[in-house]
C-alpha cells in the first residue's frame, strides 16, 4: 500500500475532525462497551480505506461506493437510536453492527491484497463492434421498455390510481407485474449508455436520447417515490461526468453532499414538509437481522440460498422462495398475506449460510472480484456502471434478488446487444465500429 504526503495530510485532517466529532457526540454518553468501541473505530478504518481509494484509484468507484454505503447502513441506526438517545447498545443490535463491519473489512482486505493482472475478466480480443447496429438494438430495447411501462402503469393499473396511491400500495400493485416491471431497471441502464456514447463519440442523437431517457427515469422514480430508482439515475450520470472530466473533484464532493441531504428529505417532501431522515433506508435491514439473529431455532443453510441464486442465473422464472420472502412469511405474516415484502441483506445471508466464516469468505470474494474489474473498452465500462449502481444493494437485498435484477434486466440485455453487434476482426478498414 503506497501512500504520499498529500494523502497522509488528508488522513491526519480526517482523523482530527472525526475525533472532535466523536468527543462532542460522546461527551454525554455513559454506556461505553465493546460495541461503542467498534462503532468508533469503524469510522476511522473504513474512512481510511475510502481516502486511500480516492487518492490511488478513482473518486467515484465501486469500492468507494461500497464503503460509503457500508458505513451508512452499518452505523446510522446505531447513531440515531442509541448514541443520540443516550441508550446502551443492546447485544442483538451490537452483534449485527459488528457483523457488518467484519464483512466490510474483509472486502477491503481482499481488495487491497489482490494484484491487478493484465488479463481481463471480460475478453473482447477477437471482435469489433458495429456502433450503428448497436444503437439500433439499444433503441429497440428502449421501445420495448416504454411499451412495458405503458401496459403496466397506464393500461392495467391506471395512471391516476397509481400516482395517488401510497408508496407501500404502489409496491403491492407492482408486485403483480414483477416480470414486466423490468423497465425500471432497463431504462436507467439505457440512459447511462446513451450518455457514455455521447461523451465518448460526441454523438448528438445519443445526447437527445439521453435526455429523453433521463427525464423518463426521473419521472418513474418520482412516481414510485423511490430513492433507490433515483440513485440508479443520478449515480451513473455523476460517474460518467467525472470519468470524462466534465466536472471536477470539488464539484463531485459538493454535489454528493447536496444529493445526500436531498435523499434525507425525500420522504418528507411528498408530505409537504422538510425533514431529514433515513429511517426507512438504513433501519429496515437492522430490524430484520435482529429478528433473525435473536431466534436460536434458525439453522445454517449451508449454501442453499446461493445454489438457488446460481440456478436463477440460467433460469429466470423459478418457484424458489427468496430469503426476503421467507422472512416476511415467518416473521411478518400480516405483510406477507397482503402481498408485501421487506428487504434483506447479503451480510445476513452470508451469516445464515455459514456463520461468521460465510461473511469472511463471501466478502473477500467480492473484494477480489471488484479489484479484477477493468475499464478497457465499452462493454467493460457498461458492466462496471451496472455493478456501480447495484453495489449498495448488497446491504439491502439478498443475492437472489440482487443478481436476478442485475443479470436478467441489465447485463443479459447488454450481452444480447453486443452479440448482435459484433463482428470477427477482418483485414482492412471497417467503418462505424468501436472497441
What are the Cα distances from residue 304, in Å, to 167, 298, 299, 377? 32, 14, 12, 36
> What pLDDT does 190 receive?
94
Same domain, 52 and 163: no
Relative to beta strand 422-424, strand 127-130 is antiparallel
Same domain, 203 and 93: no
Same domain, 101 and 137: no
Cell 420472502 identifies what position?
325
CA end-to-end span of the chain: 32
Same domain, 197 and 220: yes
Closest to 185 in 3D by CA, of 404, 417, 421, 419: 404
**334 backbone φψ class: left, alpha, beta (φ>0; ψ -120 to 50):** alpha
Same domain, 275 and 167: yes
> What pLDDT does 128 receive?
63
User: By the 8 A CB rule, do 132 and 206 touch?
Assistant: no
Question: What total of structural domains would you count in the chain?
Answer: 2
Same domain, 77 and 187: no
Same domain, 195 and 275: yes
122 found inside a domain: no
> What pLDDT does 9 receive?
86
Closest to 71 in 3D by CA, of 260, 323, 353, 351: 260
Q: How far apart are CA 157 and CA 253, in angstroms?
A: 40
Same domain, 139 and 16: no
Q: How far apart are CA 57 and CA 346, in angstroms?
A: 26
Same domain, 95 and 181: no
Q: Per-residue pLDDT tens, the chain, 435 aa: give them.
A: 555 788 888 888 889 988 888 887 777 777 888 999 999 999 999 999 999 999 887 889 999 999 999 999 999 889 888 888 888 898 889 999 999 999 999 999 999 999 876 545 445 444 566 778 888 899 999 999 999 999 988 888 888 888 877 776 777 777 777 778 888 889 999 999 999 999 998 888 999 999 999 999 999 988 887 788 888 899 999 999 999 999 988 888 888 888 887 776 666 555 555 566 665 678 888 889 988 888 777 889 999 999 999 999 998 888 888 898 899 888 888 877 776 677 799 999 999 999 999 999 999 999 999 999 988 888 889 999 999 999 999 998 999 989 998 999 999 999 888 888 876 444 444 444 444
Same domain, 29 and 165: no
User: By the 8 A CB rule, do 324 and 332 touch?
Assistant: no
Q: What is the DSSP string of 240-304?
A: HHHHTTSS-HHHHHHHHHHHHHHHHHHHHHTTT------HHHHSHHHHHHHHHHT-TTPPP-TTH
288 found inside a domain: no
Range of the structural domain that residue 429 is part of: 127-280+363-434
What are the Cα distances from residue 301, in Å, to 123, 204, 304? 35, 52, 5
> What pLDDT does 146 receive?
94
Give the list of residues 6+ apart from residue 304 with CB closer than 8 angstroms, or none: 353
> What pLDDT does 47 receive?
93
Of 113, 142, 161, the position where a domain reaches its end is 113
Same domain, 109 and 151: no
Q: What is the pLDDT of residues 420-431, one digit of tens each?
A: 887 644 444 444
Of 88, 113, 138, the position where a domain reaches its end is 113
Give the containing element (helix H, strand E) for 11: helix 5-26
> What pLDDT does 41 receive?
93
Same domain, 137 and 109: no
What are the Cα distances from residue 200, in Å, to 123, 125, 206? 21, 20, 10
Amino acid at each position: 500500500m503506497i501512500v504520499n504526503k498529500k494523502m497522509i495530510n488528508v488522513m491526519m485532517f480526517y482523523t482530527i475532525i472525526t475525533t472532535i466529532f466523536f468527543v462532542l457526540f460522546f461527551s454525554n454518553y455513559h454506556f461505553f462497551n465493546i460495541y461503542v468501541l467498534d462503532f468508533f473505530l469503524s469510522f476511522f478504518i473504513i474512512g481510511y480505506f475510502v481516502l486511500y481509494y480516492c487518492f490511488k484509484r478513482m473518486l467515484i468507484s465501486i469500492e468507494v461506493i461500497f464503503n460509503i454505503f457500508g458505513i451508512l447502513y452499518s452505523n446510522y441506526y446505531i447513531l440515531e437510536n442509541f448514541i443520540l438517545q443516550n441508550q446502551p447498545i443492546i447485544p442483538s443490535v451490537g452483534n449485527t453492527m459488528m457483523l457488518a463491519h467484519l464483512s466490510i473489512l474483509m472486502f477491503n482486505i481482499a481488495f487491497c491484497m489482490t494484484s491487478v493482472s493484465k488479463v481481463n475478466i471480460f475478453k473482447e480480443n477477437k471482435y469489433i463492434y458495429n456502433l450503428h447496429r448497436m444503437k439500433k438494438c439499444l433503441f429497440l430495447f428502449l421501445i420495448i421498455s416504454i411499451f412495458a411501462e405503458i401496459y403496466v402503469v397506464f393500461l392495467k393499473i391506471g395512471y391516476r390510481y397509481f400516482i395517488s396511491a401510497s408508496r407501500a400500495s404502489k409496491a403491492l400493485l407492482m408486485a403483480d407485474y414483477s416480470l414486466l416491471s423490468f423497465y425500471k431497471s432497463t431504462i436507467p441502464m439505457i440512459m447511462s449508455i446513451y450518455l457514455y456514447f455521447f461523451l465518448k463519440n460526441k454523438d448528438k442523437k445519443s445526447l437527445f436520447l439521453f435526455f429523453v431517457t433521463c427525464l423518463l427515469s426521473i419521472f418513474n422514480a418520482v412516481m414510485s417515490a423511490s430513492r433507490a430508482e433515483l440513485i440508479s439515475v443520478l449515480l451513473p450520470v455523476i460517474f460518467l461526468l467525472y470519468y470524462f472530466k466534465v466536472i471536477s473533484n470539488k464539484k463531485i464532493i459538493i454535489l454528493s453532499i447536496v444529493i445526500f441531504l436531498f435523499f434525507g428529505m425525500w420522504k418528507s417532501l411528498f408530505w409537504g414538509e422538510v425533514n431529514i431522515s433515513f429511517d426507512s433506508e438504513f433501519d429496515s435491514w437492522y430490524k430484520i437481522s435482529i429478528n433473525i439473529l435473536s431466534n436460536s431455532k434458525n439453522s445454517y443453510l449451508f449454501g442453499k440460498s446461493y445454489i438457488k441464486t446460481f440456478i436463477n442465473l440460467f433460469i429466470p422464472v423459478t418457484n424458489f422462495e427468496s430469503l426476503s420472502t421467507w422472512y416476511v412469511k415467518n416473521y411478518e405474516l400480516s405483510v406477507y398475506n397482503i402481498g408485501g415484502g421487506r428487504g434483506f441483506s447479503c451480510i445476513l445471508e452470508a451469516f445464515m449460510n455459514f456463520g461468521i466464516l460465510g461473511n469472511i469468505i463471501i466478502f473477500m470474494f467480492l473484494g477480489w472480484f471488484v479489484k479484477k474489474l477493468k475499464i478497457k473498452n465499452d462493454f467493460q465500462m457498461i458492466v462496471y456502471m451496472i455493478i456501480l449502481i447495484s453495489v449498495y444493494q448488497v446491504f439491502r437485498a439478498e443475492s437472489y434478488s440482487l443478481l436476478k435484477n442485475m443479470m436478467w434486466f441489465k447485463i443479459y440485455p447488454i450481452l444480447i446487444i453486443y452479440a448482435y453487434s459484433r463482428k470477427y476482426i477482418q483485414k482492412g478498414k471497417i467503418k462505424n465500429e468501436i472497441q
